[in-house]
């Protein structure tokens, strides 16, 4: 799904959101320069895989948190982890680097990516994510984001990063 298809899908599911279009952002530093509203809702997304390229994970954490992949691996009993390649990102989530978002899971036709959401967002009124492009940000309720991903069929895990 591209941006318009993603927004239409959210509307079809009755999900309320606020959207702002902006210049392309690729890192959390870029996000800070754009000065978007609701900085407390900023989320960072990491698309990772195991060393055999059998299991893929999308981690969404509060924007200012650091993720220790070794600690994540131990806590979730996975094989050794590394960042997925741009080719994996394109083939599985139909996204480009810098556009990683939980809404990219809507492009995961086989539901092979497991989603891990930082427990910080579980009951927050807002989480900021891209609508499958890094030139826009939407804010929606964390519970609504989980509803969308569960409706699509991907595994959802809430953990404390």
Across the chain, which has 161 residues, the per-10-residue mean pLDDT values are 96 96 84 84 95 96 93 94 96 94 97 96 91 95 95 96 90
Question: DSSP class of residue 107?
Answer: G
What pTM was computed for the model? 0.93
Residue 92: predicted pLDDT: 97
- Could you give all domains of the chain from N- to C-terminal order, each with its CATH number? 3-159 (3.90.960.10)
Residue 30: predicted pLDDT: 79
pLDDT, one tens digit per residue, over 87-100 is 999 999 999 988 99
pLDDT, one tens digit per residue, over 106-136 is 999 999 999 999 999 987 899 999 999 999 9
């Amino acid at each position: 799904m591209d941006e318009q298809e993603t927004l239409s899908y959210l509307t079809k599911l009755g999900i309320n959101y606020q959207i702002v279009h902006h210049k392309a952002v690729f890192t959390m530093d870029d996000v800070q320069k754009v000065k978007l509203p609701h900085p407390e809702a900023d989320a960072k997304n990491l698309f990772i895989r195991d060393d055999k390229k059998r299991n893929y994970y999308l981690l969404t954490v509060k924007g200012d948190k650091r993720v220790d992949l070794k600690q994540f691996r131990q806590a979730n009993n996975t094989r050794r982890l590394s960042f997925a390649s741009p080719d994996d990102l394109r083939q599985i989530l139909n996204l480009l680097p810098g556009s990683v978002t939980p809404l990219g899971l809507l492009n995961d036709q086989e539901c092979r990516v497991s989603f891990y959401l930082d427990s910080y967002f579980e009951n927050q009124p807002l989480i900021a994510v891209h609508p499958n492009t890094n030139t826009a940000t939407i804010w929606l309720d964390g519970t609504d984001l989980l509803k969308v991903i569960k409706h699509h069929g991907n595994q959802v895990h809430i953990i404390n990063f």
